[in-house]
Chain A
């Protein structure tokens, strides 16, 4: 659990961006639920940690926020990728894939 959380901190941004890319505009709660679901409920995060990360992305101009209505007619703040955000997802995914490939190769080599 603690190890998971540590991994999570570094990758939370990527997960948020990826979620927004695949799902389109979504509120914070939605993003949190979506991350939990896609990870097969293996990742149990404090939903609260999501908000500073979203704020940082907003300040850096990768996402934009707007108030709207949720499926259940609740007022909620919806986050949406900007053009720069789309580019960043591509970039981060490529980086991540490369990193994990190298790491996988290394781990495989070390075990044999």
Chain B
């Protein structure tokens, strides 16, 4: 065994050093012959005779050499090398052809590699945490539509205490904090977590330690684990955290650890992790506030269904105490699915689409190679006649196409590297985990596999067809050597039909997505985005809220904050260029920020909280409605007289008016936005002041509906109240400023006004409303654009394919056409002849494409907005487009055919 391995190794080495070894064998045989000749001459033969006998005895010099060669190297590898040499020679001989093929393949394979790297990162690559398959997202689901909701802290503590199926159950929420003490105040994203959170993910701080249970206690909670980036910005590259602290929202926090570089959880911008702790009696820590999300780690051997059953057992025991929980449950989902669930379908569809593009390119290249095989028939016939086997020739063909496809794959990989980096940058706002997108090792494997499969697919048909040659016919003197059989023509036509069918499917997808995007962009969002600048201001509670009064539900607690916003809006309003300025706690298209239950005081109260009307709650300051161009349809907007001490007023949205006062005038009606004491859960009584009574607001206006949620979601009932009257401690507001000029120019003036009031106050998220609009539709726009790009390449490739096949057909039939013209056929007849052929292929392709596209379009349903997957206008438009393209592509060769000079075509041969 060892001996034969050794022999194989030496034979492999021989392949490399073959020239030297060959020379040595020649010398050895020559010396053998010399000795034999010497002996023969000594025995009395003539020199000529001696050599003849010696050669005879050897069994022929060439045969011996052949035998030695077979034994010394590995014949298979050597023929392979020879085939490769041959392939590279024939590539260099036709540089134009080679360049076209390589470029097509590089683009096709590269685009596939890019899409695959996206799929790989989003769907296949495990999350960057320890044993990520055991991580789950735990969410309360409300109502029948089971929309994911948040958990209240008391409930989380109870789940954590009583569960039996999890190694960890942890809670987290995001908040924006102000970090001071550096050269400039900074506003950063903080992840606030229960103490076992990092351990649950298996993330170890690179320096220092993680949180301990004690950090959840109020008073021990002023510790922070900072991101690598924040640490470097603040403290440089030293890793010594001892004694370092950072002021967060005005309070010094001890740095107890540094996160590993690149740490991300749901959001790559996280700058610090802080422990979740509540002051005793804090309203946040009650069943009035649902804001926690939960993540868990399954115990080995438990499924997420078992964990869900376990948590729902606990949830049911809570629901038994609080009737508001009736109809709710807990859902447990693998973390990876929870993170990328929303884009999985879109990404897979795009991967399918790009594979179609590659298939279309392959069909084109197959036709190209088929044509080339025909033109090489003479060469093939000669080789067959000289004894090459058909198998050997097929292998030769395959090796040529494989060398092309693998070279194309290498080029494609280079393109993919550029492409994946571009996607990484472009899609950060759009895709989860986009920051990880890149050419990972598995992408190399994928690309190589695609390239190999492409090479075989490309080479096989031409190889089988090209080597079926009628030797006598081909080698006959004067024969054209390139007769084109009917089967080969059918094959070419089949490729075109397939191309058109595939293009139609892609065009249908792209058409539907584009129409959907147009529908989305033409929706009336209810506001005017042009010339509006927005920015976020988050006042620190410690500075602007009287916490003692705050706990008493006393609106006077926020007097300082109210004064800040009044002051700021007044200053901004007087800046030159400002048309109107206002502020709100959540801008349009930002998603739901504050849900409440409103009591309508013009009718009897329902028995419990569930009977109250769910609303979105917005507190506004200044001329918010004018600044965003929101129409007040009835009554009036808020004005400067709606102060903290004035009678409480509210403006409701049209959707709210329609739902509750369909036939009445809502103006003058009274509502309250907090439940009466009788409906509050008993455990929150302690937190409420003795004289608690929810404020009564008089409706003074009805505003047009505005889409505050996602752009494709209908507006929901909404209540606006003045910030001064209903802020309830909301510290984070968005300033909206309408300007006469380019809104960007106002930014620094506004920044100056903020600093004039409080130099420590940072501002964040400075963006025009237009930018927010396009960010909100960025994902559908990206999907539509990418699919359109694929579809455009598809139709171009199909057009090139039709053109190529028709031109080839015309050149093959030049003689026949020449005869027809000579016999009196008009140019029109010839054009018709060629066009008919092109069109018949197209019609068949369109028919097959339609049959395939209608069911495939259903896959897009969830991605479409206000468009049916079988939208007739889209389908009619793309069929017309395809037919027109095919006509143009066939018309050019048809015209050329009509202009053939019969004399010259008949003479040539």
Q: Do A and B bind each other?
A: yes
Q: Which residues of chain B are near A84, meaning CB under 8 Å?
A: 3
Are A27 and B59 also in contact (CB < 8 A) when A51-B68, A52-B68, A59-B10 are? Answer: no
0 or 1 for each of B839-862: is its CB under 8 Å from A? (1 = yes):
000000000000000000000000
Q: Are A51 and B31 closer than 8 Å at their CB atoms?
A: no
Q: Does A4 contact B (CB under 8 A)?
A: no
A60 surroundings in chain B (CB, below 8 A): 3-4, 6-7
- In the assembled complex, A76 has its CB within 8 A of some CB on chain B: yes
Q: Is the CB of A51 within 8 A of B3?
A: no
**CB interface residues, A 59-100, toward B, < 8 Å:** 59-62, 70, 72, 74-77, 84
Contact: B71 with A55, CB < 8 Å?
A: yes
> In the complex, A29→B58 CA distance in Å?
10
Residues of A within 8 A of B23 (CB): none
Cα separation A74 to B36 with both chains bound (whole Å): 11
B531 located at the interface, meaning its Cβ lies under 8 Å from any Cβ of chain A in the complex: no
Q: Do A75 and B67 contact each other (CB < 8 Å), given the known contacts A46-B57, A49-B59, A59-B6?
A: no
Contact between A46 and B59 (Cβ–Cβ < 8 Å)?
A: yes
B4 to chain A: which residues have CB within 8 Å? 60
Cβ distance B389 to chain A, nearest Cβ, rounded Å: 23
A47 touches B31 (CB 8 A): no
Which DSSP category, helix, strand, loop or mixed, fits chain B's interface? helix
Instruction: Report the tally of A-B residue pairs with Cβ distances under 8 A.
Output: 73
Residues of B contacting A72 with CB < 8 Å? 35, 38
CB distance B36 to A29 under 8 Å?
yes
How many chain A residues have a CB neighbour from B under 8 Å?
24
* Nearest CB of chain A from residue B32's CB, rounded to whole Å: 5
Residue of B nearest to A88 (CB): B3
CA distance A60 to B39 in the complex (A): 32
Residues of B53-97 whose CB lies within 8 A of A: 57-60, 63-64, 67-68, 70-72
Q: Is A109 an interface residue (CB 8 A)?
A: no
Complex CA–CA separation, A49 to B68 (angstroms)? 9
| B72, A55: Cβ atoms closer than 8 Å | yes
Residues of A contacting B59 with CB < 8 Å?
A: 46-49
A51 to B63, CA, bound (A): 12
A25 at the interface (CB under 8 A from B): no
- Hey, which chain B residues are within 8 Å of A74, CB to CB? 31, 34-35, 38
Q: How far is B53's CA from A46's CA once the two chains are assembled, in angstroms? A: 12
Secondary structure class of chain A's binding surface, majority of residues: helix
Residue of B nearest to A47 (CB): B58
Q: Is the CB of B31 within 8 A of A48?
A: no
Chain A, 25-55, contact with B by CB distance < 8 Å: what is the 0/1 string? 0011110010000000000001111011001
Q: Which residues on the A side are within 8 Å of B64 (C-beta)?
A: 48, 51
Q: Is B184 an interface residue (CB 8 A)?
A: no
Chain B 23-38, CB within 8 Å of chain A: the 1/0 string? 0110111011011101
Minimal beta-carbon separation of B34 from chain A (angstroms): 5
Q: Does the CB pair A61–B3 fall under 8 Å?
A: yes
Is B67 touching A52 in the complex (CB atoms < 8 A)?
yes
From A29, A59, A61, give the contact of B32 (CB < 8 A): A29
Alpha-carbon distance between A60 and B2 when the two chains are bound, in angstroms: 9
Cβ of B31 to closest chain A Cβ, rounded Å: 5
The answer to whether A27 and B35 touch (CB under 8 A), given A46-B57, A47-B58, A59-B11, is yes
Q: Which residues of B contact A27 (CB under 8 A)?
A: 31-32, 35
A70 in contact with B35 (CB, 8 Å)? yes
A28, A48, A61: the one contacting B67 at CB < 8 Å is A48
- Docked Cα-Cα span, A84 to B6, in Å, equals 13
- How far does the alpha carbon of A30 sit from the alpha carbon of B39 in the complex, in Å? 11
A-B contacts besides A51-B29, A51-B64, A72-B38, 9 pairs, CB < 8 Å: A28-B32, A47-B57, A48-B59, A55-B68, A56-B71, A59-B10, A76-B31, A77-B24, A77-B31
- List 5 A-B residue pairs with CB atoms under 8 Å apart, sorted by A's residue number: A48-B63, A48-B64, A51-B25, A60-B7, A75-B31
Top 5 A-B pairs ranked by shortest CB distance?
Answer: A46-B59, A48-B64, A48-B59, A59-B7, A52-B71
